[in-house]
Structure 1
Amino acid sequence: MTEAGRFPKVDDKTVLEEGDVFAPAFDAHGLLPVIVTAAGTGEVLMFAHMNEEALALSIETGEVHFWSRSRKALWRKGETSGNTLRIVEIRIDCDQDVLWVTAELTGAGACCHTGRISCFYRGVPFGSKAGEPLFEVHAERHFDPAAVYGDLSPKRKR
């Protein structure tokens, strides 16, 4: 790995898809989409992005780090709330442009800044017309967001 990049770039499709070289394909903005699921249940907890530094720190520390597109800053999940994500496993998809992280929740056992276990706590009804209300799924709050974050503006929610 060079100073310019922490991870190798692989242009050979066969090597990328069938080889054993970890060569994440970051997008034009230097980001990689990341899906996080709960180790115990398999429930999707959240979706976010990592840049090279966030990915390297996640691998090195065993705790999930992300790149905030809104704040344009690196952040460790739980640095404010104490609800960190301890990595159990990291997988990369076939063309190495999406990560799947399986993690254990710490702290209050909530991943979402709203205090819920998952960021995906609302469902969309099938067969409904546009504008039908969402329904709640596992919507119980595990902590009070106002007590943890104070200002819940998008720039302060992690």
Structure 2
Amino acid sequence: MTETWLNKVNWSADGLVPAIAQDAASGRVLMVAWMDREALKRTAETGEAIYWSRSRRKLWHKGEESGHIQKVQEIRLDCDADVVLLQVEQQGGIACHTGRASCFYSKLVHGEWVEVDAVLKNPDEIYKR
């Protein structure tokens, strides 16, 4: 596959682009992460979400430790070419490292953040360190 499509992405000064993972079936936003050129290229090649971990400074294959891999159904680029949208099938139904379905589990209610989504699996059971 020719890689000229990667040149169309409006990469940030540090070579990254935000990537939104959305459940392909329900449309729910599962998480937001970052991708560098290699992560986006490998995601397209493998059909599984691969991100750039800013904290670890390395590529991160989603689910490499937890088993909660994201099977990519579709990759889209927004109108400004500076955000990637991945429509995914979330393996195991858990996208968040907290053991929840989505990283967006807190809702603003009367000026307070309230956790409104249940933990589906204890993170200690997911990440055996």
Q: Structure 1 length as normaliser, TM-score? A: 0.75
Kindly state the Cα deviation for residue 134 of structure 1 after the two structures are TM-superposed: 1.6
SS at match of 1:87: strand
The counterpart of 1:111, out of the listed 92, 95, 106, is 95
> What is the distance in 2 between the residues matched to 1:142 and 1:104?
17
Kindly state the Cα deviation for residue 150 of structure 1 after the two structures are TM-superposed: 4.3
Moved over 3 A (4+): none
Q: Which runs of 5+ in 1 are unaligned?
A: 9-22, 152-158
The counterpart of 1:140, out of the listed 105, 114, 118, is 118
Deviation string for 1:43-78 (max 9, x for gaps)?
Answer: 110000000010000000000000000110101000
Q: Which has the larger radius of gyration?
A: 1
> What is the distance in 1 between the residues matched to 2:86 and 2:22?
6
Q: Number of residue pairs matched?
A: 128
Point out the structure with the larger strand share: 2
SS at match of 2:118: coil
Where does residue 58 of structure 1 map in the other structure? 43
CA contact (8 A) 1:6 1:52 kept: no
Q: Structure 2 length as normaliser, TM-score? A: 0.91
> What is the distance in 2 between the residues matched to 1:120 and 1:37?
11
User: Given the alignment of the two structures, is residue 7 of structure 1 paired with residue 6 of structure 2, yes or no?
Assistant: yes
User: Given the alignment of the two structures, is residue 45 of structure 1 paired with residue 23 of structure 2, yes or no?
Assistant: no
Where does residue 74 of structure 2 map in the other structure? 89
Q: Which runs of 5+ in 2 are unaligned?
A: none
- Of structures 1 and 2, the one scoring higher in RCO (CA 8 A, sep 6+) is 2
